[in-house]
Amino acid sequence: MSAVHLQIDGALARITLDNPGKLNSFTPAMLAQLEAHCATLEKTPEVRCVIVQSEGERAFCAGADIKAWAPLSPFDFARHWVREGHRVFDRLARLSKPTITVIQAPAFGGGLELAACCDIRVIAPGATLGLPEAQVGIVPGWSGTQRLARLLPEPVLKEMALFGRRIDATRAHALGFVAEVAEDPRTAAEAIAADMRHASPRAVEVAKYQIHAAVGEDPAAMVEALGAGMIGASADKAEGVAAFAEKRKPEFLGT
């Protein structure tokens, strides 16, 4: 049974964590479902914005399910659990479509790392954010010390990761980590998504690539994607492909 749902409603897609009995904590199956949904979204051109949300009022996501990783050997924990989670979260972070996270309740550990993967975040006034890994004898493993270091000031991140302190919605907004504090964060997120109907999908995608290249989110791939898009629209590219098919030397005109 899926605990990560994908709903596509025209130009808007919603990814929903639906495991509230376990505070939406990630299991290996949930990671696989999230990765599959990201692949589907990349192949669905009509989708112009993705909202990531969860069910339940107790937690947005409490991170990784301890029962899923506790029995693993140190090698399997590092090789599979950490690396696979990292790969899936990177896939979400690098979607070509803009993403918005709805944080309606506390986001801890992997839940905070999940929220950090999205382009912007909307939070409820009572929600809090934290990295409690050190309190259970581990460290953040799904980009909590990497991607979050680009999104939060170093002393604040150290407060959270080293001392276990939580930050509330007001402080998260003041730090620029969240775009908006809203009593109904789902409605607020959908209003932001609706504004995209006035924007060019291609321009939005390219702008996201440019920003990611600037901030260090897979810059090599972003630069090459931008270059490929530029050259792919050229007459020289069309001539090169035609010449290859016709087994002749190309006549490039630099256009």
**Separation between Cα atoms, residue 91 and residue 8, nearest integer Å:** 18
**Separation between Cα atoms, residue 129 and residue 21, nearest integer Å:** 19
Phi, psi angles (nearest 5°) of residue 14: -125, 125
**Separation between Cα atoms, residue 131 and residue 183, nearest integer Å:** 24
What 3 state SS string does 78-92 have? HHHHHHHHHHHHHHH
Reference 93, options 60, 126, 119; nearest CA is 119
- Find the Cα–Cα–Cα–Cα dihedral 18, 108, 57, 39, rounded to 10°: -30
CB 15 within 8 A of CB 6: yes
Spot the catalytic one: 35, 57, 133, 159.
133
CA distances from 29 to 32, 85, 93, 230, 242 (A): 5, 11, 19, 38, 45
Q: Is 133 among the residues known to form the active site?
A: yes
Spot the catalytic one: 35, 113, 190, 217.
113
CB 96 within 8 A of CB 57: no
As a whole number of Å, the CA-based R_g of the chain is 20
CB 250 within 8 A of CB 238: no
Which alpha helices (H) appear in 64-215, and where do they start and end?
Answer: 66-69, 74-76, 83-93, 110-117, 147-151, 154-163, 169-174, 185-194, 201-215
Q: Is 159 among the residues known to form the active site?
A: no
- List active site positions: 113, 133
